[in-house]
Structure 1
Amino acid sequence: MIEDSTEWNMELINRILPIEALDIFTIRPSKTGSKDSHTWIPTKSGEYTTKSGYYTGLNRINATARGTVTPGHCDWMSDIWTNPVPPKIRVFLWKIVRGTLPLGSNLATRGLNTNTNCIFCGLEETVHHLFINCQFAASIWEMAPILGNSTISGATTFISALKASKITRNLPPIGLRLGSLFPWIVWTVWTTRNQRIFKNRTFDASETLTKAITYAREWQEAQLEATPSATTETKTAGLAWIFTDNTGQIIHQGSTTEEWVSSPLILEGLAIREALFQAKSRGYTNIEFKSDAQVITRAINAGDPIKGLFGVLQDIHHLTCHLSAFTFLHIPRLDNMATDSLAKRALATMLAM
């Protein structure tokens, strides 16, 4: 976040966490200094329950069980053909597992004994050696930003390494959301090997890893741009508020726009918070709030948490402390058309600029 503020540092986030940036921007931190709190993601409220904990643990056990396959067996569909990588890399993985890649050991079995040793270390060039066990490959796996990379480097066969990669996690700040970095590293090791053999161009382990990460990031960003639904759907929306006196006479009204709004629920919460800020700035102390956001109104009155609105709800609670009397009422949408129209006009004005 920007130092001494409640605003995200968009430039920094876009640079180090580009894939997660939209998700981060939709998070609304508290503006009144509320402290962070632990949130339990599997429940809507964000509060832990033994039931949700039980089923979360059970699902993880079942997922592990489904991923337990005989080490020598390759599930073509789940291990290769549904991998979120370009088709050429899927075909490449298929050739490796089928034993048709022109490696030194495969060429030797066909009677081609010229220059069949590993170009990196001089030992016999097998699938497992080139991609997992060679000193060149081993140094890449050691540096790779993968949580659980030891399960890959410690695999005894290429297939077991491929299966192990499915349960590893990519670490920030590389910004890879889809799949594993494993296929990209394997592919780049192969292209680096070919560059050295056929073009006499040499890349060290660090350069090879950087190329793999760059290829993966560029491809995934292109896929996310082509399919917007793969990311958090965000939009710009209008907020509006109208203050009236006891006779219904308008004494103040205003509107603004908000970017990175990911749901109507968050939009309603932001509108109520902004109305409270406006009330505080104008010295209003006795207010009856009317909103057509039933979920938000109920949560405010009951003091219930909402997972995606923790900071906003905390701000609403703090701001009501400045009031001598207040109530939050839910009203039908048809009775709130004036503010709805005001919000839409604010948005239209902003988009026309």
Structure 2
Amino acid sequence: MAKSKKQGGLGFKDISTFNDALLAKLSWRILKNPSCLLARCLIGKYCKEEDFLSIQASKSSSYGWKEQLRPYGPAPKTLKDLKVSDLMLANSTDWDHKKIDTILPFHKQVILQIKPSICNAPDEMVWLKSASGVYTAKSGYKAQGETTITEEAPVPETNIDWLANVWKLKTSEKVKVFLWNSLHDALPVGKQSAIRNIPLTSRCPRCNEVESVAHVLFTCSYAKKVWTLAPLAWRFDPSPVITTRNGQETLRLIPSLHPTGVGPGTLSASICWDLWIFRNHLVFQKRDFTPEETLLKATREAREWTISQDQLPKPQSHANRIAQDPTLDPNRTCMYTDAAWNPESRCAGLAGPSSSHSAPDTSLTSPLMAETLALRSALNSALHRGINTLLIRSDSQNLINLVNAKGRHLEIASLLNDIYLISSLFADVKFKFIPRLDNSRADYVSKQALLMYQT
């Protein structure tokens, strides 16, 4: 149950793992904010003579402090003093391909995808498991959970899409939990009673066959009559259904007929729920219902739930409007930037700083990185030209929003640092998003640069 819903669990937190994630947050605070009161107290008590990353826990250290100092594996002796700068060309921030091939050949592609700063931005510690590079207890818990899963004994892979088959269905939460139990064969049917040596009959109370979860929901003669009467867009034949998973994956894709007023998967989930409820009525209360009554109740419940969801207040969404520029300042230089990225070759054509200039770049992990390189190139070129006031326009809304908010993004962290440093050297610089149609010339130039590089 401590696994995520995507992995087939219920998303409960493992207390021990979550405790480790919270303790790791203390370590992150000591590293990133050593001037805070908590960091000063811990460093003053435990790190008087050594650095936090090299200190060893003493026998008198508290449990919480010992948990901060878990050991890491040592580097090879010949490379223990190796620095990132040792993999670069002399007096440059460009990677030395020959050194990388000699020292770290298996990691060459990953290294080349890192774009070092051209402004000598200071080094900083980042957390690799979050997009912003900042440690959070949530990302730490997730990282520890991934490590635990790899260390555990492998379990048989079921290949069930838990989100699609259960958690994203448009139905009530109790029905979702019921479907989750049914896919895990965790319902108290006769077959499970026999496996656990519980002295109860393992036979179906309706047809006297061995009662499994798939039998109750699909292959029982009673269930077959219900599915035959169900107002689905096309007929569902439960006879060939072997497992609950087969039936669920088929039913969630079948839409309901128009008069029912419910979407795909909602009615079928409700029918499964009521098949189980009426089975329990028969077993424990000796009350039997006809297939028509079961279907009528399931349809009514599905429709009532759908109507109740439609009546809930929905958040108002305001259409994104592009702010119109005021009258352009004739003294302000305007530049257009764009990038064209090929996901197969991981190459990109960059357009900027002027609409007639283009340049290729390689080993790029995403179009966002390509757009950021084009923006940095435009800023750097404008600075060398002696431009003081600048307006840069780009059709990458994510990038423009990130730069205007002075945000962080792990993938392009060094590039953003360069952009912020170079921007501070201008008297005034602005970044504005424009639609692709208004950036057609830069778009054409970037695509031509990519095409020329590939050919």
Normalising by structure 2, we get a TM-score of 0.38
Which structure has more relative contact order (CA 8 Å, sep 6+)? It is: 1
Normalising by structure 1, we get a TM-score of 0.48
